[in-house]
Structure 1
Amino acid sequence: MRNLLMKVDYDGTHYEGFQTQPSGRTVQDHLEQAICQLTGEKLKITGSGRTDAGVHAYGQPFNFITESRIPLERWCLALNTRLPLDIVVTEAKEVPLSFHSRRSAKRKTYRYAINGNRFPDAFQRRLQYHHPTPLDAEGMQQALAHVVGTHDFTSFASRKSTKESHVRTIYEARLEIDRSSCRPGSKDQGILYTYITGNGFLQYMVRIIMGTLIEVGEGKRRPDDMRAILEACNRMKAGPTAVAHGLTLWSVEYDPCMLTESRESNENLIQQNGN
């Protein structure tokens, strides 16, 4: 029995998010089907978290327990031949049986991409929100500073949230601009990338922060309004939920010691469970 940790990239355009839903096409469904085709095992994988419909991921971790002895170096290629072209497994490793992709996660980073150029990018349009009019990038960065720290993020959570606590910690929030796509002599602003790193996120949290941030960029709100919105703990005070396709789960980080427990410890745990 082995606990395998894998990473998967996916374009979420045609999926109802990562996690299996009562109706709809999900990334988890395709991964489990591919594993079953490969090993004959009907199992459930554990993802590092959910993503909304239409949201993308770069290296999203998931793990599962398997009795298969397929060598690690063969898993990615074998699964990818059984997956749609917009879902690609990029890494596989064996981890302790106690490892859990979601509960063991320490930090998660999301990236939101805004195309601030006059025209959309025909090749990146599924991964970027196009905003052809100028945005106040400096004001947006100032507003972002207010979400860093430990706060009650009720104002930036879905009204349907069932979490007992909306308190989360944001470790870092920054805005970077890539101007390499700007046309000479034009009013193109480039691609504005917002990175938000925290210990966890509520449903729609990053997208509502971004919807509010875009209003700051448009001059509809002042940067300091972000603090008042946080303190209000009222979803009505925040801006709209930004479109899903601009959002990508960018990275998930773990304590290295959680990934390197010895094989001997795994064997001992198997024996204990057997007894």
Structure 2
Amino acid sequence: MSRFALKVEYHGKPFAGWQRQRDQPSVQGAIEAALARLEPREHTIAAAGRTDAGVHALGQVAHCDLTKDWSPFRLMEALNYHLKPLPVAIVDCAMVADDWHARFSALERQYKFRLLMRRAPATHDAGLVWQVPHLLDISAMQAAAEYLVGLHDFTTFRSSICQSASPVKTLDALAITRLDGPGGPEVRFDLRARSFLHNQVRSIVGTLERVGRGAWAPGDVKSALEACDRARCGPVCPPCGLYLAGALYPHDPFLSAQA
């Protein structure tokens, strides 16, 4: 039995999320079905993070165990063939140690959020960005974001159905930048942490958008955080702008495979 790490890219719109579900399409279920075409049996894969319905991935990482003698390149090609026409692609593959785990070996998860600022409906980026019809104050949002970086009780920014044992998490970084993309001005949010609470990123972005449009002052975010009260959170933004951008490991298995 050999273990392989898979780097996975997907468009989240057709799926009920990453996690396998009995009666709804999922990314995990799609990959496991493709694996069953290669080795006919039940397969269970694990991933760095469980994305919600409608959330995308640029660098989700998963692992699988196979009995046949696969080369990483051949496995990647075969999986991509059987994943068609779903919007899921294995963009890299590497053989890893038997005790390597996509979730438990990860040191950090990285999320990206795209917010498009324009009144006209998005066309090429429809379903890939959260769109607001007004410009936002980037400086004010970054000032508010600084209150969230570090070790905090994030109860305010945690879904009521979150299953994490504790609301206390360390947010390592939250950077906000403006880019002039082909579809118009965008705000990019880049967040890094060892782990995140359910809906934490979308709750943070939705709250910071209030600051950007002037409905909240940066200090209001500090007050909301310290209240440890879900009712003090701003609106949870839609999932379409959220991407799992990558996961960090002590030794990058994909770089090692290319060396």
Q: Shorter-normalised TM-score: what interval? A: over 0.9
- Which amino acid is the alignment partner of residue 152 of structure 1? D
The match for 1:265 is none
2:94–2:253 contact (8 Å) kept in structure 1: no
Structure 2 residue 174 is matched with structure 1 residue 173: yes
What displacement does 1:59 show? 1.6
Residues 123-182 of structure 1: CA deviation (Å, up to 9, x unaligned): 111110111112111111111111110111111000112322111111111111111437
The answer to whether the 8 A contact 2:48-2:109 is kept is no
SS in 1 for 2:13: helix
- Residue 79 of structure 1 aligns with an amino acid whose one-letter code is L
User: Equivalent residue for 1:267?
Assistant: none
SS of the residue 1:208 aligns to: helix
- Structure 1 residues 117 and 202: CA distance shift in structure 2, 3 A: same
Structure 2 CA distance for partners of 1:251 and 1:158, relative to 1, 3 Å: same
> 1-side partners of 2:19 and 2:56: how far apart?
13
The separation in 1 between residues aligned to 2:226 and 2:57, in whole angstroms, is 31
Distance in 2, matches of 1:199 and 1:226, equals: 22
Residue equivalent to 2:81 = 81
**Is the Cα contact below 8 Å between 1:95 and 1:259 reproduced in 2?**
no
Q: Structure 1 stretches of 5 or more lacking a match?
A: 183-187, 262-275
> Which residue identity does 2:91 align to in structure 1?
T
Structure 1, residues 57-88: CA drift from partner, whole Å, max 9, x if none? 01200002211212211111111111134100
For 2:12 and 2:252, the matched residues in 1 are separated by 31
Q: Which deviations, in whole Å up to 9, do the C-alpha atoms of 1:90-120 show, x marking residues without a partner? A: 1111111111111111111111111012323
Amino acid at match of 1:161: C
**C-alpha separation between the residues in 2 aligned to 1:107 and 1:160?**
23
Aligned to 1:147: 148
1:5 corresponds to: 5
TM-score of the two chains, using structure 1 as the length reference? 0.88
Q: Does 1:197 align with 2:198?
A: no
Aligned identity (percent) is: 32
Equivalents in 1 of 2:48, 2:35: separation in Å?
Answer: 18
TM-score (norm 2): 0.94
Query: Given that residues 5 and 253 in structure 2 are in contact (C-alpha distance below 8 angstroms), is that contact kept between their aligned partners in structure 1?
Result: no
**1:8-157 map, 5 Å:** 8-83=8-83, 84-157=85-158
Q: Distance in 2 between matches of 1:191 and 1:107?
A: 25
Cα distance, 1:23 vs structure 2? 3.1
For the residues of structure 1 that align with 2:73 and 2:182, how far apart are their CA atoms?
37
Distance in 2 between the 1:120 and 1:224 partners?
A: 32
- Distance in 2 between residues matched to 1:180 and 1:245, nearest whole Å: 17
Tell me what 1:268 maps to: none
Tell me, in whole angstroms, the C-alpha distance in 1 between the residues paired with 2:254 and 2:99.
Answer: 10
Secondary structure at the aligned position of 1:13 is classed as: coil
Amino acid at match of 1:211: G
How many Å apart are 1:260 and its aligned residue? 9.8
Computed over aligned residues only, the root mean square deviation of the Cα atoms, in angstroms, reads 1.7
Counterparts of 1:74 and 1:46, CA distance in 2: 21
Q: How far did 1:21 drift?
A: 2.2
Higher deviation after alignment, 24-33 or 120-129: 120-129
Aligned residue for 1:248, secondary structure, equals: strand
Letter in structure 1 aligned against 2:139: E
Within 2, Cα distance between the matches of 1:194 and 1:117?
A: 17
Find the aligned partners of 1:121 and 1:247 in 2 and give their Cα distance.
16
Q: Is the 8 A contact 1:155 1:235 kept in 2?
A: yes
SS class of match (2:235): coil
Q: Does 1:208 align with 2:203?
A: yes
AA matched with 1:13: K
CA contact (8 A) 1:55 1:247 kept: yes
Aligned residues of 1:4 and 1:95 also touching (Cα < 8 A): yes
Measure the CA separation in 2 of the matches of 1:100 and 1:162.
21
4+ aligned runs moved over 3 Å, structure 1: 257-261
**Kept in 2: contact 1:5–1:61 (CA 8 A):** yes
